[in-house]
Structure 1
Amino acid sequence: MSANDPFARLPEAASFSVTSTTITDGAAWSPEQFSSSVPGGKDVSPQLSWTGAPEGTKSYAVTVYDPDAPTGSGFWHWAVADIPATVTELPEGAGDDTGSGLPEGAFQLPNDARVARFIGAAPPAGHGPHRYFIVVHALDVESIGVPADTTPAVLGFTMASHILGRAVLTATAETPLVGEDAERIEVSRLIPAPASAIFAVLTDPKGHVDIDASGMLMDAEGEPVKQPGDRFLVHMDREAIGDVPLGKYDVEVVITKLTPDEEIAWTVEARIRPHARHIYGYRLEPAEGGTLVTSYYDWSEIDEEWKERIVFPVVPESALKATLGILERTVRRRSAT
């Protein structure tokens, strides 16, 4: 994911609050917010509510922007101008072809697909996760004074000197590769438990042994991990599956990403050099009935030497699915005790 900050060179502005019943800040878009060009996508704009705009606000604009699109200029998915200062909410689906949910006086500008409506996410397959900045701009003018057929970039340029405040939510989306070119596997399962209970297992070294579906992990040593860079030791027994004659050995699990109750990822380092650098991880998202847990395995950045040694993936999709089932069982048992 790009580190590009879309606000880096813009004038500073006060912050205020925006919430949504459609999305959780930092979480993935729901299928409805994907493009209709993606299976299941419906191009439905998100519900938005905002409060606490700065004094002197005379109108609002709303934009949805993907800075990670491979265009050199990002991709504008939605732009709405001249929302009256008395309005503090847009219903889900307001950005349809007719702008049916927009208040009187507000209008939609053509997005980067050149249609005046909300268009959903459709990141290129294998390009990694994209961020979508949903921004409510509080302005010091009743009308920003741009033509209805102008671009969102021109809207942004015109607004720059009129912005009193910004309220920001961020959504994400990713399209994994499929077929022969795939270098990443993802599987998901709804686990009827809070994210904190699931994360407690995933940050516990012995929890990794408890949920192993391969039969290789014998035991683990170390404290629960708390941040990227933390490590713990795992005792392995490759003879359990008999595919590679490595026998019994130890590996260090190195945490590469950790956001409490949201995501954890790691790689493994063993005695053989160079390290393979394949990544294992879990993403957790609130869902009706519990937590949607996505297990992933990514070998897109493995060392070239390893590509000659082993056929990837070394962990099949079936094993990830099995691990999620064992994870649910483990969480349930731990919660019972």
Structure 2
Amino acid sequence: MRANDPFARLPEVPAFTLTSTGVRDGRALPAAQLSGGDASPQLSWSGAPAGTKSYAVTVYDPDAPTMSGFWHWAVANIPATVTSLPEGAGDDTGSGLPEPAFQLPNDARATRFAGAAPPAGHGPHRYFITVHALDVEDIAVPAGSTPAFLGFAMASHTLGRATLVGTAETPGAERIEVSRRIPATAGAVFAVLADPKGHVDIDASGMLLDADGEPVKQAGDRFVVHMDREALGDVPLGKYDVEVVITKLIPGEEIAWTVEGKLRPHARHVYGYRLEPAEDGTTVTSYYDWSEVGDEWKARLTFPVVPESALKATLGILERTVRRRAAS
């Protein structure tokens, strides 16, 4: 993640509290706030400094491949009596905004909220969702002004700021992602993914015979999987063991791992799942990333070793496995 701080050149002011029903600080943005969804996030705030006479809201990506970042949304002149906005308030008409608030054109020159759309392969981007408490009722900028001009006008009138930072990343050419809604809680799905034998249960390749180890709890945990390459009939490896090494674990939200065998260096391709609460269940995204695989391994094998169809099949088996475990 980039280190540039969009507030570094601004006057320091007190912070207050900002929450959202959809966006979680430091976590991936929900689908509704991505390009294609284009729904401005639900926001609620409290604890603004005394003397606050209005608010402004901005959404800014400092990691965009420009010299000035990218402004996704800007709203000015929100009355001091308002302390929340519904999801989707920033549509083409600003239907969820209170009078006399108005939207400024974003960097796509659309007067609305623009969902996150980082370039493919550019890495994770941060989206600073900020409520600015101001000491004037009217910030006095023309409706057609840029968000940067609004920021300039606010600099000397800002009493406090409240910020949530969401993230988004678009897979590059060396990454596959597929998603499926599973009618179960994130906890129930995660319990299967954290269980070594759960990996065997959801295997779509036929290679995983069994696994030994306790359910994983943190990055760095390991367990052993007994493999049978003959199931694929592509490489004459026969039966062998590998260690699964957990590289990322956020309970109920995300788990990722790499595989270590006898050959060195290790290939370092990464498998993982992200979980997001959805209506009547959980949206589960399965991903496979081979961007860190070295040339030595690329000469040995053809990547991706797991096709997109296999990821889709595994999600289907995962749903069945979660359902069966719940019934047992």
**Who is 1:38 aligned against?**
none
* SS, match of residue 255 in structure 1: strand
CA drift of 1:195 comes to: 0.5
* SS, match of residue 14 in structure 1: coil
Q: Which of the residues 288, 304, 318 maps onto 1:297? A: 288
Write the distance in 2 (CA, Å) between the matches of 1:285 and 1:158.
38
Verify the 8 A CA contact 1:193 1:291 in the aligned structure 2. yes
Q: Which amino acid is the alignment partner of residue 281 of structure 2?
A: G
* SS, match of residue 77 in structure 2: strand
CA drift of 1:153 comes to: 2.9
CA drift of 1:134 comes to: 1.7
* SS, match of residue 95 in structure 1: coil
Cα distance per residue 1:270-319 (max 9 Å; x no partner): 11111111110000000011101011111122111111111111011121
Verify the 8 A CA contact 1:125 1:176 in the aligned structure 2. yes
CA drift of 1:200 comes to: 1.2
Establish whether residue 89 from structure 1 lines up as the match of residue 90 from structure 2.
Answer: no
Write the distance in 1 (CA, Å) between the matches of 2:3 and 2:257.
20
Write the distance in 1 (CA, Å) between the matches of 2:241 and 2:8.
45
Alignment of 1:184-333 (within 5 A): 184-333=175-324
CA drift of 1:210 comes to: 1.8
C-alpha spacing 1:159/1:228, structure 2 compared with 1 (3 Å): farther
Verify the 8 A CA contact 1:27 1:170 in the aligned structure 2. no
**Who is 1:155 aligned against?**
150
Establish whether residue 137 from structure 1 lines up as the match of residue 132 from structure 2.
Answer: yes
* SS, match of residue 232 in structure 1: strand
Write the distance in 2 (CA, Å) between the matches of 1:330 and 1:92.
34
Q: Which of the residues 61, 69, 75 maps onto 2:70? A: 75
CA drift of 1:256 comes to: 1.5
Give identity over the alignment, percent. 79
C-alpha spacing 1:4/1:207, structure 2 compared with 1 (3 Å): farther
* SS, match of residue 233 in structure 1: strand
Cα distance per residue 1:244-289 (max 9 Å; x no partner): 1122222221212111111111111111111111110000000011
Q: Which moved more, 1:166-175 or 1:241-250?
A: 166-175
C-alpha spacing 1:173/1:272, structure 2 compared with 1 (3 Å): same
Verify the 8 A CA contact 1:62 1:80 in the aligned structure 2. yes
What are structure 1's unaligned runs of at least 5 residues? 36-40
CA drift of 1:95 comes to: 2.7
**Who is 2:31 aligned against?**
30
Verify the 8 A CA contact 2:18 2:43 in the aligned structure 1. no
* SS, match of residue 282 in structure 2: strand
CA drift of 1:212 comes to: 1.3
Q: Which amino acid is the alignment partner of residue 302 of structure 1?
A: V
Q: Please give the TM-score of this superposition, normalised by the length of structure 1.
A: 0.86
C-alpha spacing 1:16/1:243, structure 2 compared with 1 (3 Å): same
**Who is 1:109 aligned against?**
104
Verify the 8 A CA contact 1:29 1:172 in the aligned structure 2. no
Q: Which moved more, 1:168-177 or 1:305-314?
A: 168-177
C-alpha spacing 1:279/1:164, structure 2 compared with 1 (3 Å): same
Q: Which moved more, 1:126-135 or 1:303-312?
A: 126-135
Write the distance in 1 (CA, Å) between the matches of 2:50 and 2:118.
38
Write the distance in 2 (CA, Å) between the matches of 1:192 and 1:267.
27
What are structure 2's unaligned runs of at least 5 residues? none
* SS, match of residue 226 in structure 2: strand
Cα distance per residue 1:94-118 (max 9 Å; x no partner): 3344544433332323322234432
**Who is 2:45 aligned against?**
50
Verify the 8 A CA contact 1:17 1:52 in the aligned structure 2. no
CA drift of 1:34 comes to: 4.0
Q: Which of the residues 53, 57, 60 maps onto 2:55? A: 60
C-alpha spacing 1:162/1:252, structure 2 compared with 1 (3 Å): farther
